[in-house]
A and B are shown apart, each in its own frame.
Chain A
Amino acid sequence: MSNSTLSTTSTMTDSTRLKPLSATTAVDTERTETAIEARHLNIFYGAFKAIHDVSMAVEARKITAIIGPSGCGKSTLLRAFNRMNDFVPTARVEGEISLHGHNLYAASVDPVEVRRRVGMVFQKPNPFPKSIYENIAWAARLNGYRGDMDRLVEDSLRSAALWDEVKDKLKQSGLSLSGGQQQRLCIARTIAIRPEIILMDEPCSALDPIATIKIEELMQELKKQYTIIIVTHNMQQAARVSDRTAMMMLTEDGKRSGTLIEFDDTNVIFTRPKDKRTEDYVSGRFG
């Protein structure tokens, strides 16, 4: 996992990026490429099993939505992909999540490296209490970015569709922006360090419908280069934005662990799901 040289062009070509991504060819659209894969994943909080035996292969440069009722472990699963659960003192993970064949939970893997490669956008916009410029520059700098910082800031803000709104006030606090702008700043901050995968934990739940539409449009742009996994409570949103949908539900064995019950193309999940529970949920009869 060598550090790639970051592209400083505004188009952010994939040619200089990590090997596994550049190895794919645009012609081969039928063959799906796996960006990250969970295998027999179990997650515990102390004695409580929060996630039961989840296996899923997330396809590269697609948007994968994770849906399901409250408390079924969607966020826990999402956070497992970049080891954010490490900060929960009692959390324990069994099974593996592999990125290019490397198990993220192997002893040799540094979680700091994982989080750089698998970025995250949180439910509540959480820009740093620094200037808009510094919000992006800080992360890049600490990850050892050596290129033209002004360029990177501009490129990242453009990619997050925020540049035109903030280009004249880069020195202002990131907290002075509106909620939707803050969330796009957080996305800009995330893509500034060129992750391969972006995790989004209900990124629009704190935003109004107009800001939500902007984020959703942005996601469609971003998926050309990034693999996106999004947790959402909003089924219309999952149907609108995602290519693949993972349906989670609590197990019925009385232990109330969350598990994956169905994972398929979004239109299959929403039109002809195989599982009765999925059908009830997406049609609004349950949950």
Chain B
Amino acid sequence: MATIPLPPKAIDSYRPNLAGRHAAGRTWETIFLAATMVGILGLVLLMFNIVNNAFGIVAYADENDYSLFSPVPVEQLADSDLIVLLTNELSTGAINKLNTEKALDTRSRSELLSLVYERILERKVVASSTLDQALFARADFEAEALAKNEAAQFVFRSWLSPEFLTEPMSSQALFSGVRTAILGSLLLITLTIAIALPIGTAAAIYLQEYADKSLINQIIETNIYNLAGVPSIVYGMLGLAVFVRALEPLTSGAIFGNVDSNGRTVLSAAMTMALLVLPLIIVNAQEALKAVPDSLRQAAYGVGATRWQTIWHHVLPQAIPGILTGSILAVSRAIGETAPLIVVGASTFITADPTGPFSGFTALPIQIYNWTVQPQAEFHNLAGAAILVLLVLLLTLNASAIILRNRLSARRVL
């Protein structure tokens, strides 16, 4: 850049060093950009890892030879023939059990086929690949699989599929789904928020609007901030001792006449989770209340409103979007928490949907954890698909909370 000439004879005791100052600025800008890129790179790697697991080639083989059962290829059988085949080959008890879950004649063709594969042919995974193996090392993978079982057949499989969402868990990876886990997670989150949001908001209102700034209140407030950082496993142990054991009559539903349950219920888990997210909700709600301008409170007090009228009619409506933001954070935290659920006893294998607050349950993170620790590759594929489900669920819940928040903040202006 050209230098603007100074007026003649000007005494110039400044050394602006513009070039150096701009250079320093550019250096910092580069550092900040690099930091952002590191973050983005981490995110990309994470997504790659998940997607890499959720898709791939699977090699499978049938334990039983289909030609022993019928001369017509199974795919060409009519639905009624599939039902006949199942009824003939499975025990009466097994058929009754299937019928109570969902009557056979109401099941779709793909569901019936799955049953035939699973129960009659006893189709099992021989080997399973990740997406990058499927794309770049397919020959090696196929050779390895054939070495294990020469009857192996290969198919490219998206582990994330409609059946994956609608099927309950199964010990056979090919037929396993996450329905029970999704329902468990949703029930858990609903109960958690139902418990934590009112309590947290009420506590925040007390601390922000009513409590004086005495030493005790300040200590309480500081400790709430600290509680937000306590490791979740600690809450799990607390939940086990208090909700699962000490309060078992309540959490198992025994006092409501529920007999077939122990304290390891959705309710226990939700109470534990509520404790876990409570500090988060209180802190955020307090911030939201703090952000309501004092001029609004004064306006209300100035026309003879009581403290509660001021809070209820003016402060809370203004703070609700902020409080909802806090609950979004709480949902995000609670839906991904695994450790406390393991401690309070979420089931790792359960095929029955949760029916209410007093039923045993599993949740998506538990399911993911459980599949990840299995040695077989196909369970890692399932874990990848389940993580995608969890992420989508999380984004959906957050998006709905954000939409609700925006609706409310648009309305409050009028």
Q: Which of B286-310 contact A (CB under 8 A)?
A: 293, 295-306, 309
Q: Are A112 and B305 in contact (CB under 8 A)?
A: yes
- Name the contact of A115 in the complex, choosing from B295, B297, B301 (C-beta under 8 A): B301
What string of 1s and 0s marks CB contacts (under 8 Å) between A89-132 and chain B? Answer: 10000000000000000000000110110011010101111110
Q: Which partner residue on chain A sits nearest B414 by CB separation?
A: A173
Say yes or no: A89-B212 contact (C-beta < 8 A), given A129-B413, A138-B313, A139-B305: yes
Secondary structure call for the B interface? helix
Asked if B157 is at the interface (CB within 8 A of a chain A CB), the reply is: no
Asked if A84 is at the interface (CB within 8 A of a chain B CB), the reply is: yes
Asked if B412 is at the interface (CB within 8 A of a chain A CB), the reply is: yes
Q: Are B412 and A129 in contact (CB under 8 A)?
A: yes
Q: Which residues of A contact B299 (CB under 8 A)?
A: 122, 126-128, 186
Secondary structure call for the A interface? mixed
Interface size class of A (residues with CB under 8 A): 20 to 34
Asked if A56 is at the interface (CB within 8 A of a chain B CB), the reply is: no
Q: Which partner residue on chain B sits nearest A138 by CB separation?
A: B313
- Name the contact of A139 in the complex, choosing from B304, B413, B414 (C-beta under 8 A): B304
Q: Which partner residue on chain A sits nearest B296 by CB separation?
A: A126
Tell me, rounded to whole Å, the shortest Cβ–Cβ distance linking A113 to chain B: 7
What string of 1s and 0s marks CB contacts (under 8 Å) between A132-160 and chain B? Answer: 00000011001100000000000000000
Asked if A38 is at the interface (CB within 8 A of a chain B CB), the reply is: no
Asked if B213 is at the interface (CB within 8 A of a chain A CB), the reply is: yes
Q: Are A84 and B304 in contact (CB under 8 A)?
A: no
| A204-B351 Cα distance, complex, nearest whole Å | 71
Q: Are B314 and A122 in contact (CB under 8 A)?
A: no
Q: Which residues of A contact B306 (CB under 8 A)?
A: 112
| A116-B304 Cα distance, complex, nearest whole Å | 4
| A193-B309 Cα distance, complex, nearest whole Å | 16
Say yes or no: A119-B302 contact (C-beta < 8 A), given A89-B213, A128-B314, A131-B414: yes
Asked if B130 is at the interface (CB within 8 A of a chain A CB), the reply is: no
| A228-B296 Cα distance, complex, nearest whole Å | 22
Q: Which residues of B contact A87 (CB under 8 A)?
A: 297-298, 301
Q: Which residues of B contact A128 (CB under 8 A)?
A: 296, 299-300, 314
Q: Are A193 and B303 in contact (CB under 8 A)?
A: yes
Asked if B318 is at the interface (CB within 8 A of a chain A CB), the reply is: yes
Q: Are A112 and B304 in contact (CB under 8 A)?
A: yes
Asked if A82 is at the interface (CB within 8 A of a chain B CB), the reply is: yes
| A22-B301 Cα distance, complex, nearest whole Å | 27
What string of 1s and 0s marks CB contacts (under 8 Å) between B384-412 and chain A? Answer: 00000000000000000000000000001
Tell me, rounded to whole Å, the shortest Cβ–Cβ distance linking A285 to chain B: 35
Q: Are B414 and A142 in contact (CB under 8 A)?
A: no
Q: Which residues of A contact B309 (CB under 8 A)?
A: 142
Q: Which residues of B contact A112 (CB under 8 A)?
A: 304-306
Asked if A76 is at the interface (CB within 8 A of a chain B CB), the reply is: no
Q: Are A115 and B303 in contact (CB under 8 A)?
A: yes
Q: Are A189 and B295 in contact (CB under 8 A)?
A: no
Q: Are B295 and A124 in contact (CB under 8 A)?
A: yes
Q: Are B318 and A143 in contact (CB under 8 A)?
A: no
Asked if A278 is at the interface (CB within 8 A of a chain B CB), the reply is: no
- Name the contact of B304 in the complex, choosing from A89, A122, A143, A186 (C-beta under 8 A): A143
| A124-B293 Cα distance, complex, nearest whole Å | 12
Tell me, rounded to whole Å, the shortest Cβ–Cβ distance linking A137 to chain B: 11
A-B contacts, 20 of them at CB < 8 A, read A84-B298, A84-B301, A119-B302, A119-B303, A122-B295, A126-B293, A126-B298, A127-B299, A128-B296, A128-B300, A129-B314, A138-B303, A139-B303, A139-B305, A142-B304, A142-B305, A171-B414, A173-B414, A186-B299, A193-B304
Report which A residues bind B (CB closer than 8 A).
82, 84, 87, 89, 112-113, 115-116, 119-120, 122, 124, 126-131, 138-139, 142-143, 171-173, 175, 186, 189-190, 193
Report which B residues bind A (CB closer than 8 A).
212-213, 293, 295-306, 309, 313-314, 317-318, 412-414
- Give the top 6 A-B pairs by smallest Cβ distance, nearest first: A116-B304, A139-B303, A120-B302, A126-B295, A126-B299, A115-B304
